[in-house]
Amino acid sequence: MEKYFDLHGADFTIRCKIYFAPVAKPAAGIETGLEEAGQPFRHVIVFCHGFAGHKDNAMAQKLAGRILEKHDDTALVIFNWPGHGDDDHAGITLEDCDAYLGTVLEYVRSTLHPRILDASATSFGGYLVLKYISDHGTNPFRRICLRCPAVVMHRVLTEKVLTAEDLRTLSEGGEVPSGFDRKVMLSPAFMQSLRDNDITALDFAPYAASMRIAQGTADELVPFDAVQSFAGRNGISMVTVEGADHRFLDPAKMDLVLRTFMQFLDL
């Protein structure tokens, strides 16, 4: 079962979605239209989608489906990043991304009251989860599953996504739209913030045991070597998926990732 709901901050609204088993009854006061009363969820996974994605993410739906087949006391929560999907923001900043993730985490802790809080993040979502941990000096999750984390996000955009014309516009102080279903407006300030916040220069070794990476060797956006180097330098366990592209379009390869992540999350 799934429900859409909104979380409200001082000057923003976060569009969210929750997957849960029909028999589950979340804590009272939840602002999702779910049943009131009942016990809190035992286990919640916060799912962070990638650049130009949205809360109706295919992998999140597949992961939630597999989980809920076995565990009716578990939920998966996903939300739109600023400027993504049906979010109200026109653009995106790293500060807003941090605020969104922090607001979602506070909601999960204060309303769903899980005994176990984990994360699954893809590409840019992985970058943002790692940045959140570094910025706040703590890891709010028991375990974190990262699929093709964009640890070199600035390089991904400048070398793989943006055109020469886009880069010229940015260098002249203009903004450029980038993405798929909905274009995300990228500003020179945002691009500079990605350059300034180089995840590969930070130390994640203290959190290595809580993380598992799955990376395809044929990823056309996030360089395999960059992720492999990042994982090795920090002592993070990485599952190499031969021939997998960035989106893991091969169902068998996606199935491998789902099984790997569920095992790591004890599901």
Q: What per-residue confidence (pLDDT) applies to 242?
A: 97
Q: What per-residue confidence (pLDDT) applies to 53?
A: 95
Q: Which residue has the tokens 């920090």?
A: 234
Chain segment 15-71, per-residue pLDDT in tens: 999 999 876 555 444 544 444 323 478 999 999 999 999 999 999 999 999 999 999
Q: Which amino acid is at 115?
A: R
Q: Which residues pair with 74 in a beta bridge?
A: 43
Burial classification of residue 261, based on how many CB atoms lie within 10 Å of its CB (0-12 exposed, 13-18 middle, 19 or more buried): buried
Extended beta strands in the chain, E state = 2-8, 13-20, 43-48, 74-79, 116-122, 144-147, 176-179, 183-186, 211-216, 237-241
The pairing of strands 43-48 and 2-8 is unpaired
Chain segment 187-246, per-residue pLDDT in tens: 999 999 999 999 999 999 999 999 999 999 999 999 999 999 999 999 999 999 999 999
pTM of the model: 0.93
Q: Which amino acid is at 32?
A: T
On the question of pLDDT at 150 being above 60, the answer is yes
Q: What per-residue confidence (pLDDT) applies to 185?
A: 95
- What is the rounded distance in angstroms from the CA atom of residue 188 to the CA atom of residue 182? 19
Q: What per-residue confidence (pLDDT) applies to 109?
A: 93
Contacts (Cβ under 8 Å, ≥6 apart) of 187: 91, 170, 175
Mean pLDDT of the chain: 93
Q: How far is CA 2 from the centre of its chain?
A: 18
Contacts (Cβ under 8 Å, ≥6 apart) of 131: 94, 97, 98, 197, 199
Q: What per-residue confidence (pLDDT) applies to 180?
A: 78
Q: What per-residue confidence (pLDDT) applies to 23?
A: 63
Q: In the 3-class helix/strand/coil scheme, how is 158-173 assigned residue by residue? A: HHHHCCHHHHHHHHCC
Q: What per-residue confidence (pLDDT) applies to 25?
A: 53
Q: What per-residue confidence (pLDDT) applies to 37?
A: 29
Per DSSP, 209 falls in state: G
Q: What per-residue confidence (pLDDT) applies to 9?
A: 87
Chain segment 93-138, per-residue pLDDT in tens: 999 999 999 999 999 999 999 999 999 999 999 999 999 999 999 9
Q: What per-residue confidence (pLDDT) applies to 126?
A: 98
